[in-house]
Amino acid sequence: MAERPLTLMAVHAHPDDEATSTGGVLARYADEGITTVLVTCTDGRCGDGPGGVKPGDPGHDPAAVVAMRRAELEASCAVLEVSHLETLGYADSGMMGWSTNDQPGAFWTTPVAEAAGRLAELIRQYQPDVIVTYDENGFYGHPDHIQAHRITMAAVELTDSPAKVYWTTVPRTAFEQFGRVMRDLGVDWAEPDETVPPLGLPDDEITTWVDANSYGGQKFDALAAHASQTENIFFLQLGRDRFTELMGVETFVRVRDRTGAPTPEGDLFAGLR
């Protein structure tokens, strides 16, 4: 019998998250023959509607937004050549403090055990060798990102999965460079608020640096597939070449490992092939 192909599972909160922090690895590993599985936890109903109408404003139809964003998600997956898309279908909770946080069916208020059980079934089904999700703060404090982290780590424990587990992150030096570029482009880019914990990590705390520059065009196109959210996706203002220059390397922290592969590493599958 043929050996089972290696498998990557990325667990994300909303449609479009898959492209921002993992579009490069999804495209690269698909090209290398690795099976890629994307799990999207929420339906994105708190995103912009047609014409940029905002949640809570007149004319914002959550059901229409859900259908639109599902189509965009499928288009993004086609660009990235994702092997399998799985959607858990929980209601988008909106930003921290929004009234939508507590609405029935919101991902933020769903019991972790319930959602983790569903994700555990997918882990058993696909048997990923590598699982990627967010850190305990959901990278920037979004409730659905935090919940995605919680259910992923719980599901890993439920299944006793042997997979390597990574959390997405960004080096602090990259934030500094990104701010300079955005200001050069004339974009209003505020300096970080010193009262808020800084995003990302010092470079020397990052374990994994994956070069996906060759797939920068795919990553850009996958993000652009989420056309209804263009106003919120400021990375697209960079243009394809500058976008690839700044976002062509994706970075992670390895938090669970069975291979003993040394770090820093340049491959999520180091020690597995």
List, in order, residues 6 or more apart from 29 with CB less than 8 Å away. 8, 36, 268, 269
In three-state secondary structure terms, 211 is: strand
- Write out the DSSP string of 76-135: HHHHHT-SEEEEEEEBP--STT-GGGGSTTBGGGS-HHHHHHHHHHHHHHH--SEEEE--
pLDDT at 183: 75
Class (C level, CATH) for 7-257: alpha beta
Angle, nearest 10°, between helix axes 143-159 and 112-126? 60
pLDDT at 195: 56
pLDDT < 50 regions, the chain:
1
Domain boundaries, the chain: 7-257
* 209-264 confidence digits (pLDDT tens): 999 999 999 999 999 999 998 777 777 888 889 889 889 999 999 999 999 999 99
- Write out the DSSP string of 22-56: HHHHHHHHHHTT-EEEEEEEE--TTS--GGGPPTT
pTM of the model: 0.93
pLDDT at 1: 43
List, in order, residues 6 or more apart from 37 with CB less than 8 Å away. 7, 8, 9, 10, 82, 83, 84, 85, 86, 122, 126, 128
pLDDT at 18: 97
